Chain A
């Protein structure tokens, strides 16, 4: 299946969860937040939340700022 990851199309195996996507992208989970179709996904649901075809996945991270 295909999803949009921060506006970049990527191919994924079906039944991929948010946690698996984060792992696949080799991302540190601390300071990371995920929204799918503009809904924030709580960290404790990442391992259960399955991505759907054409999902708009947005990743955000904590950075420095005032």
Chain B
């Protein structure tokens, strides 16, 4: 079980709800993924456009909703977004993300830590999206964050675990769940993250923008389970030379 704050989840695959071609496809992908925690975003209401009924199906599926602060460029904006999200969804769970630069969407570590400290004091369950920086992750944990969400690679880049060496240190040191967020482009990337000992992974683009998001959601679910099983089983160590797993040609020596 994955434990975050006061809740437990049997699935270690978290989904982002963006980029799906339509809400029906998103719902089917959620079901295929078995996910129990999904991120959502906030935007200014377009008065002339009808409001989608995005939330009723999610409520029916009994999924923990995790609003994000995407769009915030500073701690102050993120706190404002967090308060709006709290009112919109009546949840104190929050994915804190502050990325001022639209080209790489790299999280601003200083503003993220400042916001996290204040949001924890305001009673939010804070899950910060952050750089794969072991010192920063420790500071976020000390600030009272319920988990840390270091990036594997840039958001939506599908490049996999570019930050692998740093993630290993983060996972080794963390006392809160480490959720690898961003950049996981294939089920094999998710499995690798879980084999490292990540508590969970968060996937959006790789599923939503695939040719068949429902099938891909199922593939990620299996990869996450397999990776976790492998981590629990304890991986056999890598070595630089061959080590025979059969008696080889000894029986030919008589010839």
Q: Which residues of A contact B (CB under 8 A)?
A: 5-6, 8, 25, 27-28, 30-35, 38, 40-43, 58-66
Contacts and interface: CB of A to CB of B under 8 A. Distances in A.
B84 A40 contact: yes
15 contacts: A6-B47, A27-B45, A28-B53, A31-B51, A31-B54, A40-B80, A59-B47, A60-B45, A62-B40, A63-B42, A65-B16, A65-B18, A66-B16, A66-B39, A66-B205
B68 interface: yes
B68 A66 contact: yes
B55 interface: yes
Interface string B77-99: 00010011111111000000000
Given A6-B44, A31-B55, A43-B87, 12 more contacts: A33-B83, A33-B88, A34-B87, A41-B87, A42-B87, A60-B45, A61-B42, A62-B42, A64-B20, A65-B70, A66-B182, A66-B202
B43 interface: yes
A43 B90 contact: yes
A60 B41 contact: no
B84 A63 contact: no
Interface of B: 16-20, 23, 26, 39-45, 47, 51-56, 67-68, 70, 80, 83-90, 155-156, 182, 202, 204-205
A32 B45 CA distance: 8
A16 B85 CA distance: 24
Contact of B17 (A25, A30, A65): A65
Contact of A64 (B26, B80, B182, B202): B26
B207 to A, nearest CB: 10
B91 to A, nearest CB: 11
Given A64-B40, A65-B41, A66-B204, A25 B47 contact: yes
B44 A59 contact: yes
Contact of A60 (B43, B55, B90, B205): B43
